[in-house]
Amino acid sequence: MQNNTFSTLFVGQNLIKLKEVDSTNNFLKELVSKSEPLPEGTVIMADNQFAGRGQQNSVWQTQVGKNISLSIYLKPSFLPLDKQFYLNMAVSLAISETLSYFITSGISIKWPNDMYYLDKKLGGVLIENALTGTIIKSSVIGIGLNINQTDFPEEITQRASSVFQILQKEFQLEVIMEKLFVFMEKYYLVLKSGKFESLKNRYLEKLYAINKLAYYKEDGRVFEGEIIGVEDEGRLIMKVGNDQKSFNFKQIEFTHTK
């Protein structure tokens, strides 16, 4: 374990760096399961994740040593179960604000928590909550961000980008992590203070393709819809024709804007 001088109260103050791991989320969950108490805000960072995971067990690909692959340990026991998605909003906003600090325009959040620059993916989040009864005992926040990657596999090159590709400049990962930890702590404390409406309004402001007609796919069928909001539990609210519908995670897939 390593103590750091990040300008935060707790996020990143205990940083564990690994050369290689299957998944930083898996490693952190294993640490949490041991009896030794772990400080809130502990961060596990890896140069290489050989089995990094995204939402719904999709695979996260990253070049060794080029990008940010880390997991943060939080204990949001103050958060009601029916407000779990607000943790996702807080985390997404923290990452969005971090990227916007370096890339001054074009950053958005693609529901529920992918980071986009214009129409290309910059990163993603995987949140895994451990519950005890009706209490969220702990949360492991996995974050993957494309920072210095210069190219991508052919099958995703049209859909992915990196900070380097956008700005044509290489960054020390620690410089971006410093901002990430500061903004993570900021939004986590906003969440802790119960400012749910403020978080939701800000999240909707940053949401990719909101209030725009676009094409989506459900069960192989393509339809035209317009995102108009998000429910407290996280379901996406869309206007489809004259109807208003709600969709769960992975129920629909964005295809393209109109």
pLDDT score recorded for residue 146: 96
Q: What is the pLDDT of residues 166-219, one digit of tens each?
A: 999 999 999 999 999 999 999 999 999 999 999 999 999 999 999 999 999 999
Q: Which amino acid is at 45?
A: M
pLDDT score recorded for residue 2: 53
Q: What is the largest distance, in Å, between two alpha-carbon atoms of the chain?
A: 56
127, 131, 135, 140 alpha-carbon torsion, rounded to 10°: -30
pLDDT score recorded for residue 237: 98
Q: Residues spanned by CATH 2.30.30 within the chain? A: 213-257
Distance (Å, whole) CA 223 – CA 245? 12
pLDDT score recorded for residue 140: 97
Distance (Å, whole) CA 234 – CA 247? 9
Mean pLDDT highest for which of 52-66, 116-130, 144-158? Answer: 116-130
Average pLDDT over residues 69-82: 96
Tokens 């779990």 locate to 84
Q: Pairing mode, if any, of strands 14-21 and 43-49? A: parallel
Q: How many CB atoms lie under 10 A from the CB of residue 3?
A: 8
Q: Residues spanned by CATH 3.30.930.10 within the chain? A: 2-205
Backbone angles phi, psi at 61, to 5 degrees: -100, 140
Residue 55 has pLDDT above 50, yes or no: no
Give the right CATH number for 213-257 from 3.40.390, 1.10.1240, 1.10.760, 2.30.30.
2.30.30
In the chain, the N- to C-terminal Cα span, in Å, equals: 50
Strand segments, DSSP code E, in the chain are 2-3, 14-21, 43-49, 68-74, 107-110, 114-117, 120-132, 135-145, 213-218, 221-230, 236-240, 243-247, 253-257
Q: Which is more confidently placed, 227 or 47?
A: 227
Name the nearest CA neighbour of 159 among 124, 127, 205, 125. Answer: 124
Domain 2-205, CATH: 3.30.930.10
CA 50 to chain centre: 19
Name the nearest CA neighbour of 234 among 88, 92, 99. Answer: 88
Strand order in the sheet with 221-230: 243-247, 236-240, 221-230, 213-218, 253-257
As a whole-number percent, the residues of the chain with pLDDT over 70 amount to 93
Average pLDDT over residues 66-75: 96
pLDDT band at 57 (very low <50, low <70, confident <90, very high): very low
pLDDT band at 69 (very low <50, low <70, confident <90, very high): very high
Are 144 and 67 within 8 A, CB to CB?
yes
Residue 3 has pLDDT above 60, yes or no: no
Alpha helices in 23-83 (DSSP H): 24-33
pLDDT score recorded for residue 193: 98
Residue 223's Cβ-side half-sphere holds a number of Cα atoms within 13 Å equal to 15
Average pLDDT over residues 56-77: 79
